[in-house]
C-alpha cells in the first residue's frame, strides 16, 4: 500500500466508533486481534452496498456511512445479538477527501451509539461500493432465529414501516420521511429485549410482506396480516394517503425494522417491556401465524390482492 493510502486510513478510519477493551489490536496491523467474551457465541454478518443499487451517487456521504453500518446492525438486532466489532471494505473510483470524511463521520456516529469499534478493513480502487462486517455476541440458546414461530403466535413489527421507501422515491416532498431512508435506526435494543420473548425474528430489508414470508417459510407455517393494523406514521399517511401508505409498508423495504412472532403467553410481558423503555421504540401487532402456508393480507377482514401463496417462491 502506498504511504498516501496509509495516511488516508490513519486520518479517517483509525479510530472510528467506540473504543473497546476487548480490542487488543485494531486498525494498523495485518489483522485485528480480538478477545471474545468467554461463554458467549459470536454472531457474524456482512452486507455490501453498491452505488446505483443500494444507494445513489446523490445520497449524502454521511448517509452512506450510516447505512453501511446500519444494515449490519439491523441483522445483529434480528438475531438478538449485541454488536461489538466492525470491519469495513471500501472500494472507491478516486480519493475524494471530503466524501470520505463525511462517510466516516456517519459511520462513526452510529458506531458510537451502539458501542461498536471499527477494528480493520480494506481500501481499494474500483466502482464505489462499501462492504461492512459486524461481529457481536449472544449467550448460548438465546439467539432469535427465523424458524421458531408456530400457528397461533402473534406477528409484530417495530417502528413505522413504509416511511423509508416513500422518502427515497419522493425526496423533495417530505424531509422527515427522506431522513428515515437516509438514516435508518437499527433496532438493536429491541432485539436484545426480545430474547426469551419472541419465538422468531427477521429484520425488514426487502419489504415487510417478503420478509414476513421468509420468517413463515423458515418456521413451516403461514400468516394472516391485517392491513388496518399496520403501524403507519402520520407523516406517511399525510404524504401518501391510507391505501398507498399500506402498500409502502407492506412492499417498500429498507425499513430495517424487526418483524417477529410472539407466543400468546409472552405478549403481556412484551408490551410491558416496551411500555417501560422508550428506547425500544413502538411495536405493533399486525396479525398472527397460521397453519396454512402463504401470507393472507386482509383489510378490515376482507382478503386483499397483497396475499401471496406459500408455494410460489418466485412471486414479485
Ligand atoms: P494488509 O495489506 O496487510 O491487508 P492494509 O495495508 O490493507 O493491510 O491495511 C492496513 C491496516 O489498515 C489494516 O489493519 C487494515 O485492517 C486497516 N484498514 C485498511 N483499510 C481500512 C478501512 N477502510 N477501514 C478500516 N481499516 C482499514
Ligand atoms: Mg498484511
**Beta carbon of 107 within 6 Å of any ligand 1 atom:** no
Ligand nearest to the CA of 31: 1
Which residues, in sequence order, are bridge partners of residue 201? 260
List, in sequence order, every beta strand (DSSP E) within the chain: 23-25, 33-34, 41-50, 82-92, 117-125, 129-138, 154-158, 200-203, 222-226, 258-262, 283-290, 295-299, 302-303
User: What pLDDT is recorded for position 245?
Assistant: 97
Quick one: what percent of the chain has pLDDT higher than 70? 97
Strand partners, 34: 23
Counting atoms of ligand 1 from 1, which one is nearest the CA of 88?
24
Residues of the chain above pLDDT 90, percent: 92
Residue 52 has pLDDT above 50, yes or no: yes
pLDDT at residue 27, rounded to an integer: 97
What tens digit of pLDDT does each residue of 33-44 get?
999 999 999 999
CA of 28 to the centre of ligand 2 (A): 10
Residue 124 CB–ligand 1 contact under 6 Å: no
- The pLDDT score that the predictor gives to residue 312 is 46
Place of cell 417477529: 260
* Three-state DSSP state, 156: strand
- Is 60 exceeded by the pLDDT of residue 32? yes
* Tens digit of each residue's pLDDT (9 = 90 or more) over 124-134: 999 999 999 99
List CB contacts of 130: < 8 A, sequence separation 6 or more.
48, 49, 64, 65, 68, 88, 89, 90, 91, 103
Q: For position 261, what pLDDT does the model report?
A: 98
Q: What share of the chain is helix, strand, coil (3-state, %, to 5)?
A: 35, 25, 35
Is the overall model pTM greater than 0.85, yes or no?
A: yes
Q: What is the pLDDT of residues 198-215, one digit of tens each?
A: 999 999 999 999 999 999
- Ligand 1, closest atom to CA 118? 25
Residue-wise pLDDT for 123-181, tens only, equals 999 999 999 999 999 999 999 999 999 999 999 999 999 999 999 999 887 889 999 99
| Helix boundaries (H) for 45-156 | 61-79, 97-113
**Has residue 182 got a pLDDT over 50?**
yes
Cell output for 265 = 403467553
Atom of ligand 1 nearest to the CA of 87: 25
Alpha-carbon distance of 255 to 274, in angstroms, equals 19
Per residue in 112-127, pLDDT (tens digit) is 999 999 999 999 999 9
Residue 310, φ and ψ in degrees, nearest 5? -80, -5
13 in contact with ligand 1, CB cutoff 6 A: yes
272 lines ligand 1 (CB under 6 A): no
Mean pLDDT of 275-295: 97
**CA 104 – ligand 1 centroid, Å:** 15
Confidence of residue 287 (pLDDT cuts 50, 70, 90): very high
Distance 43 CA to ligand 2 centre (A): 25
Q: Please give the span between the terminal C-alpha atoms of the chain, in angstroms, as a whole number.
A: 45
The answer to whether the CB of 47 falls within 8 A of the CB of 71 is: yes
6 CA distance to ligand 1 middle (Å): 8
Q: How far is CA 213 from CA 122, 198, 247, in A?
A: 35, 17, 16
At 4-16, the pLDDT tens digits run 788 999 999 999 9
C-alpha 242 to ligand 1 mean position (Å): 49
pLDDT computed for residue 20 by the predictor: 98
Q: What secondary structure letter does DSSP report for 249?
A: H
The pLDDT of residue 51 is above 80: yes
pLDDT tens, residue by residue, 62-118: 999 999 999 999 999 999 999 999 999 999 999 999 999 999 999 999 999 999 999
Q: How far is the CA of 119 from the centre of ligand 1 (A)?
A: 9
Find out whether the beta carbon of 29 lies less than 6 Å from any atom of ligand 1: yes
Task: Say what the pLDDT of residue 315 is.
Answer: 45
Amino acid at each position: 500500500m502506498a504511504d498516501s493510502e496509509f495516511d488516508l486510513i490513519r486520518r479517517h478510519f483509525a479510530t472510528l466508533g467506540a473504543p473497546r477493551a476487548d480490542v487488543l489490536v485494531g486498525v494498523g496491523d495485518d489483522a485485528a486481534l480480538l478477545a471474545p467474551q468467554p461463554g458467549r457465541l459470536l454472531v457474524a454478518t456482512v452486507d455490501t452496498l453498491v452505488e446505483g443499487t443500494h444507494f445513489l451517487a446523490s445520497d449524502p456521504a454521511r448517509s452512506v456511512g450510516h447505512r453501511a453500518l446500519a444494515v449490519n446492525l439491523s441483522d445483529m438486532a434480528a438475531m438478538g445479538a449485541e454488536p461489538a466489532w466492525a470491519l469495513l471494505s471500501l472500494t472507491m473510483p478516486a480519493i475524494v477527501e471530503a466524501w470520505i470524511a463525511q462517510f466516516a463521520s456517519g459511520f462513526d456516529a452510529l458506531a458510537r451509539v451502539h458501542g461498536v469499534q471499527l477494528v480493520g478493513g480494506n481500501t481499494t480502487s474500483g466502482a464505489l461500493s462499501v462492504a461492512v462486517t459486524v461481529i457481536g455476541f449472544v449467550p448460548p440458546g438465546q439467539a432469535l432465529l427465523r424458524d421458531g414461530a408456530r400457528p397461533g403466535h402473534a406477528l409484530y413489527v417495530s417502528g413505522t414501516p413504509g416511511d423509508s421507501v416513500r422518502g427515497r422515491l419522493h425526496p423533495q416532498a417530505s424531509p422527515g420521511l427522506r431522513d428515515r431512508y437516509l438514516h435508518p435506526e437499527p433496532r438493536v435494543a429491541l432485539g436484545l429485549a426480545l430474547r426469551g420473548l419472541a419465538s422468531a425474528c427477521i429484520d425488514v430489508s426487502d419489504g415487510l410482506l417478503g420478509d414476513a414470508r421468509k420468517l413463515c417459510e423458515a418456521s413451516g407455517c403461514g400468516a394472516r396480516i391485517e392491513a388496518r393494523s399496520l403501524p403507519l406514521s402520520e407523516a406517511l399517511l399525510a404524504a401518501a394517503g391510507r391505501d398507498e401508505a399500506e402498500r409502502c409498508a407492506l412492499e417498500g423495504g429498507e425499513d430495517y425494522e424487526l418483524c417477529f412472532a410472539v407466543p400468546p403467553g409472552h405478549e403481556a410481558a412484551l408490551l410491558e417491556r416496551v411500555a417501560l423503555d422508550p428506547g425500544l421504540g413502538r411495536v405493533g401487532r399486525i396479525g398472527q401465524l397460521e397453519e396454512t402456508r402463504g401470507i393472507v393480507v386482509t383489510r378490515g377482514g376482507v382478503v386483499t390482492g397483497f396475499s401471496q401463496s406459500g408455494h410460489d417462491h418466485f412471486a414479485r
